[in-house]
Chain A
Amino acid sequence: MGAGHGHRLHFHGHSALHRAAAHHKVLALLGFMLVVVATPRGWWWAYLAEGVLLGGVVLASRVPLGFLARRMVVETPVLVFAALLPLIAHGERVDVLGLSLSRSGLEGAALLLVKATFGVVAGLTLAATTEPQALLAGLARLRLPHQLVQIAAFMVRYLDVVTDEMRRMRVAREARGFTARDPRHWGVLARSVGALFIRSYERGERVHLAMLARGYDGRIPLDLDRPQAPAVAPRGHGHAHGHAHEHAAAPVPALLTAPAEHA
């Protein structure tokens, strides 16, 4: 058991982007995405400018391009949809390699592709240059409702635990000769997901008990991640990367998993 160091999306580094405050990066990402989404069709120079800007930021972060590229698989569903657009959209047709395609569909697909890629690359760059704890602190600084930050904190804390549980269940299935190859097997997978949900829910209850046992009374302690006295010896042992504003989280353990179906 045991998780690797750092989060899978995080790339350890010391670039200016790594050092930048998390809430600034979140705001920059949000602003960039709003501009990208709002850029009208046909303003190709604007897209070019956005692309150059994003490329510059990625290079400045010194995160290897391969690292980002591998994680871009999350974009696949968008790619599939973009590929379908020229076939199913209406309007003026153009012939490409013997296929009759919709011109507006082609344009739409290209736009979708560009916007989605910008979004995914920008998001991955944020994740690669910001520790999850720092990101949570940044969200708290941006006045995201406290409960939401807490839920996100629990998710970060228990993601590895739940994925590990999921992996063990898969290994146990495969050890008994089961591999999900076609839709007929989806029922088994669905039941596994249900079981995982129940387990995670029960863990949420146990976490809650453990919190109660230490006197949890509904108040949320803030900033327990750093020494409390005004000026004490510097921290910075081991693997803390010197983020001064790491953030503590507390309750709502039952909500730590994403909503899942009931078995």
Chain B
Amino acid sequence: MSTPVLDVRGLAYAYPDGHQALFGVDLHVHRGERVALLGPNGAGKTTLVLHLNGILAAGAGTVAVSGLPVAKEHLQEIRRRVGVVFQDPDDQLFLGSVRADVAFGPHNLGLRGAELDARVMTALEQVGMAEHVDRPPHHLSFGQRRRVAVATVLAMQPEVLVLDEPSSNLDPASRRELADILRSLDVTVLMVTHDMPYALELCERSVILHDGTIVADGSTRDLLTDDALMARHRLELPYGFDPRTVGPAPGRAPAPAAPAGPTG
């Protein structure tokens, strides 16, 4: 098999205050996969995410992105390859206009001039926000800000998109629009979420992180229907939602900007 996009081996980490969040995490994500990272609050999901682009440095174990180990000397390249979309778009959009915010990442990668403009517009078109390019982020709706936050990372053309709670605080229409966008992208996705229907809809594969270790890894449908497993790890399905009665997840939607890509 090809080199995994994300290759996490034996990752352990304790915060400076002594609290240990990760106890030997092993995780592989391959090109084109969309993987949901499930787990109760405090399981270490965010800590794991912060290791993927080198914001936290592994206490033990290794992280590699497409074969490149996450280490100080190539942090810049790692951060190009791993695009993290944080939960609160107000944290991600800190400049005065949508254009400036989307340009920030590629500018840090050294892009200038027409090339930078093209990156910005392409990324905004991918999330359907091109017409808002000159608006200040705080004038956008929450759902629009979340989409621009995704664009800020897409503009860096990452190899893997890491989303922290992408559906949180979205109204149902914005939630569905974001799902359509994520499906249309030809990019590997790791999605941290508590939203089980969203995981089932978007990700064929899920992993469960609990108490700092990966306790399950398999098809999302299998994991969500394993009641004992779910209960053991403080995971629950929303009322009335039964994965057994849900039809197959929709495939990649035909994208306006991105060609349909390979899966698996």
A contact residues, range: 35 or more
Give Cα A99 to B114, complex, Å.
Answer: 73
Query: Residue B131 at the A interface, CB < 8 A?
Result: yes
Query: Residue B246 at the A interface, CB < 8 A?
Result: no
Inter-subunit contact B152/A214 (CB<8 Å): yes
Given known contacts A213-B86, A214-B152, A238-B134, A225 and B79 CB-to-CB distance under 8 angstroms: no
Query: Residue A210 at the B interface, CB < 8 A?
Result: yes
Given known contacts A154-B94, A156-B96, A206-B88, A224 and B104 CB-to-CB distance under 8 angstroms: yes
Inter-subunit contact A161/B134 (CB<8 Å): no
Inter-subunit contact A214/B104 (CB<8 Å): yes
Given known contacts A214-B156, A240-B134, A249 and B96 CB-to-CB distance under 8 angstroms: yes
Query: Residue B76 at the A interface, CB < 8 A?
Result: yes
Inter-subunit contact B156/A225 (CB<8 Å): no
Inter-subunit contact B139/A5 (CB<8 Å): yes
Inter-subunit contact A238/B97 (CB<8 Å): no
Query: Residue B116 at the A interface, CB < 8 A?
Result: yes
Cβ contacts under 8 Å, B80 to chain A = 215
Inter-subunit contact B103/A221 (CB<8 Å): yes
Taking the nearest CB of chain A, how far is it from the CB of B52, in angstroms? 10
Query: Residue B196 at the A interface, CB < 8 A?
Result: no
Q: For chain B, residues 207 to 259, give those with C-beta under 8 angstroms from any C-beta of chain A.
A: none
Inter-subunit contact B99/A214 (CB<8 Å): no
Inter-subunit contact A224/B95 (CB<8 Å): yes
Give Cα A209 to B90, complex, Å.
Answer: 12
- Per DSSP, chain B at the interface is helix
Output the residue of A132, A216, A230 with the most chain B CB within 10 A. A216
Inter-subunit contact A246/B96 (CB<8 Å): yes
The total of chain B residues at the interface (CB under 8 A) is 44
Cβ contacts under 8 Å, B135 to chain A = 237-240
Inter-subunit contact B96/A225 (CB<8 Å): yes
Inter-subunit contact B94/A211 (CB<8 Å): yes
Cβ contacts under 8 Å, B96 to chain A = 132-133, 136, 153, 156-157, 225, 246-249
Cβ contacts under 8 Å, A213 to chain B = 53, 55, 79, 83-84, 86, 153
Given known contacts A217-B108, A249-B96, A224 and B156 CB-to-CB distance under 8 angstroms: no
B56-89 to A contact mask, C-beta < 8 Å, 1/0: 0000000000000000000010011001101010
B99-127 to A contact mask, C-beta < 8 Å, 1/0: 11001110111001110110000000000
Cβ contacts under 8 Å, B91 to chain A = 203, 206-207, 209-210
Inter-subunit contact A133/B113 (CB<8 Å): no
Give Cα A247 to B108, complex, Å.
Answer: 17
Inter-subunit contact A215/B109 (CB<8 Å): yes
Query: Residue A48 at the B interface, CB < 8 A?
Result: no
Query: Residue A212 at the B interface, CB < 8 A?
Result: yes
Q: For chain A, residues 203 to 243, give those with C-beta under 8 angstroms from any C-beta of chain B.
A: 203, 206-207, 209-217, 219, 221, 224-230, 232, 235-240
Q: For chain A, residues 122 to 162, give those with C-beta under 8 angstroms from any C-beta of chain B.
A: 132-133, 136, 153-154, 156-158, 160-161
Inter-subunit contact B139/A239 (CB<8 Å): yes
Query: Residue A196 at the B interface, CB < 8 A?
Result: no
29 A-B contacts (beta carbon < 8 Å): A3-B138, A157-B95, A158-B90, A158-B94, A161-B90, A206-B91, A209-B86, A211-B94, A211-B104, A213-B84, A214-B83, A214-B105, A215-B156, A217-B108, A221-B103, A221-B104, A221-B107, A224-B107, A225-B95, A228-B113, A229-B117, A235-B134, A237-B131, A237-B133, A238-B134, A239-B135, A247-B96, A248-B97, A249-B94
What 9 new A-B contacts, CB under 8 Å, besides A213-B83, A237-B132? A3-B138, A210-B92, A213-B55, A213-B84, A224-B99, A225-B95, A225-B100, A240-B134, A250-B95
B-to-A contact residues, CB < 8 Å: 50, 53, 55, 76, 79-80, 83-84, 86, 88, 90-92, 94-97, 99-100, 103-105, 107-109, 112-114, 116-117, 131-139, 141-142, 152-153, 156
Nearest 8 pairs between A and B by C-beta? A229-B114, A215-B108, A240-B134, A214-B105, A224-B100, A224-B103, A206-B91, A248-B100
